Chain A
Amino acid sequence: MKQSVTLGKVSKFMGLGFLSTFKDLFTGKLGKEDYKNFLRKIIVPIGSVLLFIGLWHLGARTLYNTEADFKINKALTEQGQAAADEMAACIASGDISCQPNTLPSPSQVWASFQSLLNDHALISADKAAFAEKTAALNEKRVAEGKDPIVYTGRPSFVDQIFRSLKTVFAGFFLALLIAVPLGIFIGLSPTLKSAFNWFIQIFKPVSPVVWYLLVFMIVKTLLIDSSEDSSFTISFIAVGLCSMWATLVNTSMGVSTVDKDYINVAKVLKLGPFQKVFKVVLPSSLPLIFTGLKITLSVAWMVLIAIELLAQSPGLGLFVWEEFQNGANDSNAKIIVAMFVIGIIGFLLDRLMLTIQNAVSFEKTDAI
């Protein structure tokens, strides 16, 4: 009866089924069918990624040339031939001051990614040094009942990723804590359902920007005496409110559409209301609740960027906005790096939810 845990099962469980194909490749367990699978699952995706990078490279180059020609022509019409030649030479030399500002190429993005990592290493070292320097002083300050001195330097890209994750999870748990219990009550009671239905229908389509403004109005007043930075509080609450609707709707639907047979069994056995909810209704609606939570987490991650930007709360959203405003020669490349990081983290969050869902619910869901 014991099930052996293999890489294949685990990776499939987590929606990362393609990993097991890799293992088979190295252990030489591939049959004819498997080669077809290998081709489809490994070679084809790699090919499509390469094709994507190739097209991106060509497109970026075309845009670069268009921008360069425009700059040279502009110099020619405004300042004459000499200025145009100078501009052409400047662009060709790779001088930062006159580079065309357009879509960065894949290699530029890769270089920016590495420079962001280097930057992180520098800031980390700086932080460690600061902590060491102030350790003794802080101990004294704490003993005297004063606040310790904290590092207030610029956050690195990696710090901002973690800050964003913190915000998104805080928002996600807020959504979970509101939407799941509320959804259960709404699903169980037709009266509550009709009481809340208009509320859900009206607020569900409201844009993240408006939610942010609403939360801002309320939280600003509530925290009027607090000297602390409220941007984190505002952004995670706004993220939670934007993203909770999918969970609310799915939970109430799951609870109100429990298989009639299960309800009949509960009736015949005369289960009390508490047992009915926890032994029958909730387990049977778990798959739908988790589908809702999965949507909630991905919506939370998506709106987070916009809300951080508005709230000026440190994180990837603010990073993107600051780079855009900054307009340095590698800003565009950094924005694209952020785009990929956002995408990959979103994918991993989705897989994380799928793993939890498969672990707790009776229906196995395959990754899409």
Chain B
Amino acid sequence: MSTIIKETTNATHNGIFPSNEVMLDLKKLKKVYPTPKGDYVVLEDLNLQIRKEEFVTIIGHSGCGKTTMLSMIAGLNEISGGHISVLGKHIKGPGPDRGVIFQAPSLMPWMTALQNVLLGVNQVFPDATKAQRNDIAKYYLQKVGLEDAFDKRAADLSQGMQQRVGIARAFAIKPKVLLLDEPFGMLDSLTRGELQDILIEIWNKEKITAVMITHDVDEAIFLADRVVMMTSGPRAKIGDVLEIDFERPRTRKAVLEHDDYYKYRKHLIDFLEH
């Protein structure tokens, strides 16, 4: 198993990534909420560059502004200062080039699993034939293990299954950037592990640049190329960045057995506790 993981820990990502192209660029990002007692600055001077095909996880204390940052990238929250660009182009509002997997599965409960995925696919591939779009949606539902549940209504699926549909919906629209807002936060730990495996498996194939918020240190290490630690708010910014030099594809067992695993873990926990 240990052969999967790179023996040398001092290797840089230059060797792993096919390109150094910057996919997502956050520059001097600022978020201010006006309150009767004056402005409340959530984020200030936040700079982050994420490379193409990189998987970045973000951890930080509750209420530090992680979700605010993610929804700003998604375009669902106004930017107060600075800018966000995808492949060098400033974003304007939300769009399917930035797919989102929300914390709650956010499926339309009156639609079937397939219809939920098709809702996005139809929007992104308007020129494809109906059969082609169906095939795309079914392909991703199969990838998340829901081949038997195409025609089940979302309301009748368990929370874990609903989140699987959420993953399929996000990948099926082939976004440039995938934004994940604590997608497994509401699941029990067994289901969470299952879904992490599914997510990483499908991600290994698609290599979509991903930014994921999590509270779970192990999850952050297992999934990420880099773990970004945010300082506590107000005026939150990037506190520290940890490169995770495990080779892909990874297995949970190999990651847990790796010598550096506990070093990474200690680093993150030290940051969170100070």
- A277 smallest CB distance to B (angstroms): 13
Once the chains bind, are B106 and A264 in contact (CB under 8 Å)?
yes
Chain B 70-112, CB within 8 Å of chain A: the 1/0 string? 0000111000000000000000011110111010101011110
Contact among A1, A262, A268 for B96, CB-based, below 8 A: A268
Q: Which residue of A lies closest to B170 (CB)?
A: A268
A265 to B151, CA, bound (A): 20
Contact residues in B for A271 (Cβ distance below 8 Å): 119, 123
Once the chains bind, are B96 and A270 in contact (CB under 8 Å)?
yes
Once the chains bind, are A262 and B100 in contact (CB under 8 Å)?
no
8 A Cβ contacts from A265-288 to B? 265, 267-271, 275, 279-280, 283-284, 286
The DSSP consensus for interface residues of chain B is: loop
B256 at the interface (CB under 8 A from A): no
Once the chains bind, are A270 and B110 in contact (CB under 8 Å)?
no
Once the chains bind, are A362 and B96 in contact (CB under 8 Å)?
no
Once the chains bind, are B106 and A283 in contact (CB under 8 Å)?
no
Once A261-B102, A264-B76, A362-B153 are accepted as A-B contacts, the answer to whether A269 and B108 lie under 8 Å apart by CB is: no
Contact residues in A for B96 (Cβ distance below 8 Å): 268-270
Known: A264-B106, A271-B123, A279-B108. 11 other contacts (CB 8 A): A261-B102, A261-B104, A265-B100, A267-B75, A267-B93, A268-B94, A269-B123, A269-B173, A362-B109, A362-B110, A362-B155
Q: Which residue of B lies closest to A265 (CB)?
A: B106
Contact residues in A for B98 (Cβ distance below 8 Å): 268
Once A261-B102, A362-B155 are accepted as A-B contacts, the answer to whether A267 and B110 lie under 8 Å apart by CB is: no
Once the chains bind, are B102 and A269 in contact (CB under 8 Å)?
no
Once A1-B151, A261-B102 are accepted as A-B contacts, the answer to whether A269 and B120 lie under 8 Å apart by CB is: yes
A284 to B111, CA, bound (A): 11
Once the chains bind, are A280 and B108 in contact (CB under 8 Å)?
yes
Once A1-B151, A261-B102, A362-B153 are accepted as A-B contacts, the answer to whether A267 and B94 lie under 8 Å apart by CB is: yes
A363 to B108, CA, bound (A): 12
Contact residues in A for B155 (Cβ distance below 8 Å): 362-363
Among B106, B151, B153, find the residue whose CB has the most chain A CB atoms closer than 10 A.
Answer: B106
- B140 smallest CB distance to A (angstroms): 15
Once the chains bind, are A279 and B102 in contact (CB under 8 Å)?
no
Classify chain B's interface size: 20 to 34
Classify chain A's interface size: 20 to 34
A361 at the interface (CB under 8 A from B): yes
Q: Which residue of B lies closest to A264 (CB)?
A: B76
Once A262-B106, A362-B109 are accepted as A-B contacts, the answer to whether A268 and B119 lie under 8 Å apart by CB is: no
Contact residues in A for B106 (Cβ distance below 8 Å): 259, 261-262, 264-265
- A47 smallest CB distance to B (angstroms): 39
Contact residues in A for B76 (Cβ distance below 8 Å): 264, 267-268
Instruction: Give the top 3 A-B pairs by smallest Cβ distance, nearest first.
Output: A362-B110, A261-B106, A267-B94
Once the chains bind, are B123 and A270 in contact (CB under 8 Å)?
yes
8 A Cβ contacts from A1-24 to B? 1
Once A270-B123, A362-B155 are accepted as A-B contacts, the answer to whether A264 and B102 lie under 8 Å apart by CB is: yes
- B33 smallest CB distance to A (angstroms): 17
A286 to B109, CA, bound (A): 12
Once the chains bind, are B108 and A270 in contact (CB under 8 Å)?
no
Once the chains bind, are A262 and B108 in contact (CB under 8 Å)?
yes
Chain A 242-261, CB within 8 Å of chain B: the 1/0 string? 00000000000000000101
8 A Cβ contacts from B39-98 to A? 74-76, 93-96, 98
- A129 smallest CB distance to B (angstroms): 54
- B211 smallest CB distance to A (angstroms): 14
Contact residues in B for A270 (Cβ distance below 8 Å): 94-96, 123
Contact residues in A for B108 (Cβ distance below 8 Å): 262, 265, 279-280, 283-284
8 A-B interface contacts by CB (under 8 A): A262-B106, A264-B94, A265-B108, A269-B119, A269-B124, A270-B96, A283-B111, A363-B155
Among A259, A269, A275, find the residue whose CB has the most chain B CB atoms closer than 10 A.
Answer: A269
Once the chains bind, are A284 and B110 in contact (CB under 8 Å)?
yes
- B74 smallest CB distance to A (angstroms): 6
